[in-house]
Chains A and B, each alone.
Chain A
Amino acid sequence: EVQLVESGGGLVKPGGSLRLSCATSGFTFSSFGMIWVRQAPGKGLEWVSSISSSGSYIYYADSVKGRFTISRDSAKNSLSLQMNSLRADDSATYYCARIVDGLDSWGQGTLVTVSS
């Protein structure tokens, strides 16, 4: 069974940093692209960042470019998102998902709150 479990969310002050992790199991992690998607409370889905199966291709939404860094560790079957210079509008539930011609598997999300 494919499983994705996010962790690392929490309360952080504006300008602070946070590192999210996504632990995966049940599939060959190194064969799939991965993605981070966020959802502010009561709002829609917003793409954050994508990374190819090899890690060679990385893409970011304009809203996070230069502040967030996506990475993957195939030895640990893990995806990460380093978030720096956090702002109030970064507050959201962050989901990791597997890319298979659509996002076919999602984690349950981790909540990030940016507030003083």
Chain B
Amino acid sequence: SSELTQPPSVSVSPGQTARITCSGDALANQYGYWYQQKPGQAPVLVIYRYSERPSGIPERFSGSSSGTTVTLTISGVQAEDEADYFCQSADSPGTYRDVVFGGGTKLTVL
């Protein structure tokens, strides 16, 4: 199965923009998704289909895609955004025959 590569950590000051990348061959033809996980909690979907935002997710969260890399951007980072972020790919939106997660990125708000 394919792999997704994320930076282990990203640090930003409050109010700045955080960008977290996720790279992998699978993303060239598979959708990319992003999850936020805070300590002791289950993951929460924050971006689906590269750039769509579920209801209830703040507008400061956005996603983009280019080739084999997807990027999660958090504009105007707040202290509450400090968390682990995982990317994920799937072969098709409803099948999930081959699911891959990135290793995760710890976002630190300085």
Contacts and interface: CB of A to CB of B under 8 A. Distances in A.
Interface of A: 33, 35, 37, 44-47, 50, 52, 57, 59, 61-62, 95, 99, 101-104, 106-109
8 contacts: A44-B101, A44-B102, A45-B86, A57-B97, A95-B43, A102-B48, A103-B88, A108-B41
Contacts of B49: 101-102
A109 B40 CA distance: 10
A33 B94 contact: yes
Given A99-B94, A101-B93, A102-B48, A47 B42 contact: no
A65 B48 CA distance: 28
Interface of B: 1, 31, 33, 35, 37, 41-45, 48-49, 54, 86, 88, 93-104
A59 B97 contact: yes
Contacts, number: 67
A62 B2 CA distance: 12
A93 B33 CA distance: 21
A44 B103 contact: yes
Contact of B42 (A61, A62, A95, A99): A95
Contacts of A44: 86, 101-104
Contacts of B98: 59
B95 A57 contact: yes
Contact of A108 (B42, B93, B104): B42
